[in-house]
Amino acid sequence: MVVSESFKIVESAYGKAGVKILHVSQQGSVHTIRELEVETSLTLNNHKDYERGDNSDIIATDTQKNTVYILAKQYGISSPEEFGLILANHFISKYPWVVKAKVTLSAHPWQRVSDTAGRPHNHAFVSTPLSVRVASVLLIRGQMPVVSAGIRNLRVLKTTQSAFVNFVSDEYRSLPDFKDRLFSTIVTADWTYGKISQELDFDSAFSTAHASVLEVFAGPADKGIFSPSVQNSQFLTQKMILEKIPQVEKISISMPNVHYFGFDLSKFPRIPGLEGKCSGDVYLPVDKPSGQITSTLARGMITSKL
């Protein structure tokens, strides 16, 4: 008896990556710019292109690229999320055999130049790579779109008001307690909107989330805020974002340790005064290995008590 083995494609998608676009809009003499990098990904209701080499249902990746520029010209780019929704809806509505469209976007940070009087310039901008804003839209035919947004490469550092003590002490431990340490990390955050409505301002929501990260990390300018661990700061950040943006359903954050270790100056005993404060403290940046702290905070079920 000969047993024949069968195979089945269980997942497939194709699209265009690295589609860069700058959109300039104008209201009177004031110009506004949006620079994005877009990636599209489509899933079809069949696999004849893979299995039989039949390309009749393929929307070429070059066509997908062209669509980005054409829809930007037609509708503009009010926010990465809104433009992602426009693109995903277009692919689902125009091509009946497309069952899933995913659009991911990253925004280059531009800020208006201020003149000598402090006025924001009408048409001159400066690149401000403080962090990178990202967004994603997933639209499955017959379902509501899933819109996500996030932050990349937000590098922060504070020189005090951070500790790490009373962790597991066993035969493998070498790290001492730190009652006051330098704290630095590179924040990656992703949040998913559970409700999409006309009242939701994606730009405002992103600004609120970004500001919340910095508020929990730094605290008031004169006093700061104490952090007993990266984990606790991460949780408080997520909690603040969920409290301030009711449309956000859940948020994931990754905060790797970016270590700065005190440089060992005891090796130079013939140089006087190095054991004191002198001009300040000297640290050695060490990026690897590094601790990786991640978590996701979601809204729980709302219960009422009579």
Q: Verify whether residue 259 is a known catalytic residue.
A: yes
DSSP class of 266: G
How much is the CA Rg of the chain, to the nearest whole Å?
25
Give helix 61-75 / helix 80-94 axis angle, nearest 10°: 120
CA dist 48 and 175 (Å) reads: 58
Q: How far is CA 68 from the centre of its chain?
A: 21
Whole-number Cα distances in Å, 124 to 30, 78, 110, 127? 10, 19, 10, 10
Contact at 8 Å (CB) between 57 and 97?
yes
Contact at 8 Å (CB) between 193 and 147?
yes
Task: Enumerate residues 6+ apart whose C-beta is below 8 A from 249.
Answer: 191, 192, 193, 194, 195, 298, 299
What would the two tokens of residue 253 be? 């954050």
**H or E segment and range at residue 82:** helix 80-94
Going by C-alpha positions, the residue among 215, 220, 277 that lies closest to residue 243 is 215
Point out the catalytic residue in the list 16, 90, 102, 210.
16
Tell me phi and psi for residue 24, to 5 degrees.
Answer: -120, 125
Point out the catalytic residue in the list 23, 108, 121, 259.
259
Point out the catalytic residue in the list 32, 43, 61, 208.
61
Contact at 8 Å (CB) between 257 and 186?
no
Q: Verify whether residue 179 is a known catalytic residue.
A: no
Q: Verify whether residue 61 is a known catalytic residue.
A: yes
What would the two tokens of residue 141 be? 């035919």
> Where in the sequence numbering do the catalytic residues fall?
16, 61, 259
